[in-house]
Chain A
Amino acid sequence: MKIAIPVWNNCVSSAFDFAHRLLLVDIQDGSEMNRSEISLDPEPISQRAIRLKTLGIDVLICGAISRSLASLVEASGIKVLPYVLGPADEILKAYLIGQLGQSKFAMPCSWPGARKGFRRERRCRRGRQ
């Protein structure tokens, strides 16, 4: 599984639409296998969504994201966990142990329905137990 986190100063970038760096992490059996960082050029949102798809991303963990970009990314089959803030390493660790939904990682004021991915996440994890 490949996770992408837009980063800035080692923290999650405040808005994915305008982010310049993307942290890519390969995960296998719940552990980090490999990580790399790439730069993102300013580009139309549809191209940004295609970029993620070409990179083979499965999950995007990000800060604020516009409705249009979130829908485009989701339409490419990528799971979006938005409106998250904090240091990228902590966020990754929290995701791997299923603790990303904690309020300390939540960015204030997301648009209605933006964090529905977290609800699905909880439901899936509950279903698995």
Chain B
Amino acid sequence: MSNRIQDKKREVILDSITEGVFTVDSDWRITSFNRAAEEITGIPRTKVLGQKCSDILRADVCETQCALRETMETSKPIINKAVHILDARGEQHAIAISTALLKDESGKIIGGVETFRDMSLVEELRKEIEGRWSCEDIISQNHRMHRLFSVLPNIAESDCTVLIESESGTGKELLARAIHNLSFRKDKPFVAVSCGALPDTLLESELFGYKAGAFTDAKKDKPGRFAIAQGGTIFLDEIGDISAAVQVRLLRVLQERTYEPLGAVSSVNAEVRVITATNKKLDELVEQGQFREDLYYRINVMKLELPLLRDRKDDIPLLVNHFISRFNRLRSKNISCVTDEVLAILLAYDYPGNVRELENIIEHCFVLCQAEIIEKKHLPASVCPSSSVDKVKTGEITTLKQMEILLIIEALRRNKGNQTATSKELGINKSTLFRKLKAHDIKPDAYT
């Protein structure tokens, strides 16, 4: 009886601490697993008791540098060893583990105990500061994205110039960083320059630097971004916005691999990989004479196109969960999910600002949501579709035909493009719906 009370007490104490704790017997089978361990690994204790610890923790050290094994063999505890585990959500987590021996009354070793802390926040902040992003950090289950990821190592290895063409907010810089971090230049600097943010004259001195006396107030030498990126990668964002003069200078860097800082009398070698990105169609700019054709061919050795978020809506639930976990860590909140209604609204939205806009939407919800679940009322008004009644009231819809089109579109959205369900909801025959879709040129596939 007293043993049972003792066990219960121990369980309460273990469950009240924020560090994950589990114990193993001499055969590496788990004998106890506390609440924090369940949260960090995502695995309930009912499923782990009696299992081998390596099958549950799934850590990178299990096979070669098991901390518990080392402690059992040397009788020395290990403190705060940094390891990575795979949790039940299929994501890698950084944790810090400590180990100790378990002994019975006679001093005989009967197993070991491992405690671990979730280091995801620290890891995320470290990545943010160091810019060490990789493919693993681009959240996607979309086949187009995975086709892209599968060619990245080859592209990274080739050291060729890369052009990333896609709309704003799709993750062009993240992709450029992933290429840099996969390449042999990964230990050298990655320098990002937003060409559109700087006026023409400033951009030139920013990219190539200047010598003292090059112009009034140039009192000492200033290295340009190309010099800072020497040996590494320079990422030129919004390349479509640069002036004709900068285009000529950039062309020379790419052709000759040399450049002259403003006011310099000799050339400087540019041992730098160039990755460019734009949200414009560069070939159209070339046709319109706004972008040099020779420069276009120089930077367009390897063109990558990042799909828009509206074209990879299968990623939205995954991204929503990712942003919820991220903001939970950054803002110390405990929001678990969004309601089905919110997810349906998020799936129906078009995202002109792509992934960045979705991130901002979730951040907006985090400010307003004080409970555990994000509801429709927490969403920004711009995301929520206004009802047809509202549109009639505000005078946006004036004809019966417009009303009909809107009702059909809204019903298609709610039913994810399913025509049978839509016709049922609208109380019309499927063939009537089909006729109306054709008459109003509505494509149901656009709402799947």
Contact = CB atoms under 8 A, between A and B. Distances in A.
Contacts, number: 105
B258 interface: no
A108 B51 contact: yes
A111 B63 contact: no
Contacts of B134: 44
Interface residues of A, number: 35
A74 B182 CA distance: 21
B88 A111 contact: yes
B91 A66 contact: yes
Contacts of B51: 108
Given A17-B92, A71-B146, A108-B43, A44 B62 contact: no
A2 to B, nearest CB: 19
A46 B63 contact: no
Interface residues of B, number: 39
Interface string A68-101: 1011101110000000010000000000000000
Contacts of A8: 62-63
Contacts of B57: 14
A27 B56 CA distance: 31
B58 A15 contact: yes
Contacts of B86: 15, 17-18, 64-66
B64 interface: yes
B169 interface: no
Given A17-B86, A71-B141, A108 B58 contact: no
Contacts of A71: 140-141, 146
Given A68-B136, A108-B51, A18 B84 contact: yes
A129 to B, nearest CB: 30
Nearest to A75: B146
B89 interface: yes
B47 A108 contact: yes
Contact of A66 (B62, B90, B147): B90
Contact of B150 (A46, A85, A107, A111): A46
Interface string B139-166: 0110100110110111000000000000
The 3 closest A-B pairs by CB, nearest first: A111-B90, A67-B90, A75-B146
Interface of A: 8, 13-15, 17-20, 42, 44-47, 49-50, 53, 63-68, 70-72, 74-76, 85, 107-111, 114
